[in-house]
Chain A
Amino acid sequence: MSESVAPLQGFVRADGRKGIRNVLVVAYLVECAHHVSRRIAQHFDDLDVHLIGFPGCFPNQYASRMMRALTTHPNVGAVLLVSLGCESMDRDALREHIVASGRPVDLLVIQESGGTATTIAAGIEKVGAMRTELARQTPVSMSLDELVVGTICGGSDGTSGITANPAVGRCFDHLVADGTACVFEETGELIGCENIMAERAVTPELGELIQACVAKAERYYQTMGFGSFAPGNADGGLTTLEEKSMGAYSKSGASPISGLIKPGDIPPGGGLYLLDVVPDGEPRFGFPNIADNAEIVEMIASGCHLTLFTTGRGSVVGSAISPVIKVCANPETYQRLSADMDVNAGKILTGEASLDAVGEEIYRRVKAVAAGERSVSEALGHQEFILTYKSFEPIGPGCLPVRQV
């Protein structure tokens, strides 16, 4: 397994998983509680107090499952739930779920707490007390086979598939060899890669499931009328969805694909996993992922401790809960936005570094950020978060063949 890798430190949770951060989450359970929650979180101006939430008032199983997974993510140490009072989200069930995970949790209901100002004041007091409690926790040693790392591309261009994406693929190969669980996603951006991807599956049955999952994505986007292709992709030299797909696909590296999971499913062990982010059934709630952060949130719900984000045009986002490491593909973009980037993969095009060298640099950066160093977007205070309506059916037994053995 891993040789001469400096031991990481993690905060151990009751389920045995470890977090690389000890984040205090303030979660609104409907948009009507967003402002109060934001004021509570912003009061602390702390890189480890984050705001998340679900805006909808109508019930949604997926959103409930995601909120349970996110509030008990290993990077989360404590939770304050803020409810308006009349929304559909089952706040008591969510609270009980967090209590069962051993985390400090509290709940404020605005309609029962005297309104905006008094709820903000009460929330600040509760979060203050929970911060004191979290500050007393000490991390324990953690190894790379306890880490889950996701990858996404955003603002892709013609350089993404040549520099940053294959460099992340090299890093993934190192991590998989260390026993880390690595997650790649966005089946709608893998249209055209289904057959080569299926050949990498650990069983023929998993290969067929991967092909079916990409066919589902194609049908879904066909109904939406647009593929996952933004005007900026074309400005940057990408012409077709399958061209963008081939570039995106190289983030997965060369390891065998061990499983196919859906948002909220935790990889059962080390290896490479494909996350299916396109809803099941008839298209109902609009585009599968309205922006990059919706996908990042789904990878976090599947246990990702950090996300490798490759960008050609220049995305600046980070995320709540799990740090985002920015790998810039385009050397000209890097010159303009270097203060937002962790790694300059554009060096591959300017001849300053090889693909392997940049892959190594990303691998070292993963280990440093997992060991507590702030990523660039994290230090800048980026804590974006999106959760929308979706609908999924559970995965079948063929999706995780290793678990059956």
Chain B
Amino acid sequence: MREHSAVSSDALILLHPDDNVLVTARSLPEGATMTLDGQALVLTGALPVGHKLARRAMAAGDKIVKYGVPIGSLLAPVAPGEWVHMHNMTSDYLASHTRESGRQATQPSQESNS
């Protein structure tokens, strides 16, 4: 399944000019190629519709901006075109939980991150 299909510009959405992430308008296969601000990029994994890609290189601690407002902070540096999600960013309010974290913590955690 290594189709190196070029992603057309309407497959990625910039919701606000201040945003540093783009949103996928449809599911994209691993190996899909795209051009981001003149740079050629290859997707290192498949991405479902509605997910976020870094618009440019960013450092750990940088705010992620979507809809023109901060929606959390990076935990690790990202390269342009890299997937931005639970593995490399976190809320500035309340931490999100996943099915995996639910398996470890059966008791509600009291830790605060604000």
Contact = CB atoms under 8 A, between A and B. Distances in A.
A243 B72 contact: yes
The B contact surface, by secondary structure, is loop
Interface in B20-51: 23-27, 48-51
A307 interface: no
Nearest to A351: B10
A238 B21 CA distance: 12
B79 interface: no
B7 to A, nearest CB: 14
B13 A191 contact: no
Given A234-B98, A246-B66, A157 B92 contact: no
A231 B108 contact: no
Contacts of B69: 192, 196, 242, 246
Interface string A322-334: 0000000011100
Nearest to B26: A349
B104 interface: no
A231 B103 CA distance: 12
Nearest to B102: A231
Contact of A231 (B25, B85, B98): B98
A191 B15 contact: no
A139 to B, nearest CB: 42
Interface in A329-359: 330-332, 349-351
Given A159-B49, A221-B94, A242 B72 contact: yes
Interface in A118-174: 157-162
Interface string A61-86: 00000000000000000000000000
B50 A240 contact: no
Contact of B71 (A159, A227, A242): A242
A108 B71 CA distance: 53
Interface residues of B, number: 41
B80 interface: no
Interface in B49-83: 49-52, 64, 66-67, 69-72
Interface string B81-108: 0001110011111111111001000011
A237 interface: yes
A225 B96 contact: no
B50 A237 contact: yes
Given A240-B72, A330-B50, A349 B25 contact: yes
A191 B70 CA distance: 12
A222 B114 contact: yes
Given A218-B94, A222-B94, A231-B102, A237 B23 contact: yes
A331 B114 CA distance: 36
Given A157-B50, A158-B23, A158-B49, A241 B67 contact: no
Given A218-B94, A239-B96, A240-B93, A234 B86 contact: yes
A392 interface: no
A162 B49 CA distance: 11
Q: Which 4 A-B pairs have the closest CB atoms?
A: A158-B50, A225-B108, A237-B50, A227-B94
Given A222-B112, A332-B48, 16 more contacts: A158-B24, A158-B50, A162-B15, A227-B96, A231-B98, A231-B99, A233-B96, A237-B48, A238-B50, A239-B91, A240-B72, A242-B91, A242-B93, A246-B71, A312-B50, A332-B26
29 contacts: A158-B50, A161-B67, A162-B15, A192-B71, A192-B93, A196-B69, A218-B93, A218-B94, A225-B109, A226-B94, A227-B96, A229-B94, A231-B98, A231-B102, A234-B98, A235-B48, A236-B50, A237-B24, A237-B49, A239-B91, A240-B71, A240-B89, A240-B91, A241-B91, A241-B94, A242-B72, A246-B69, A330-B49, A349-B26
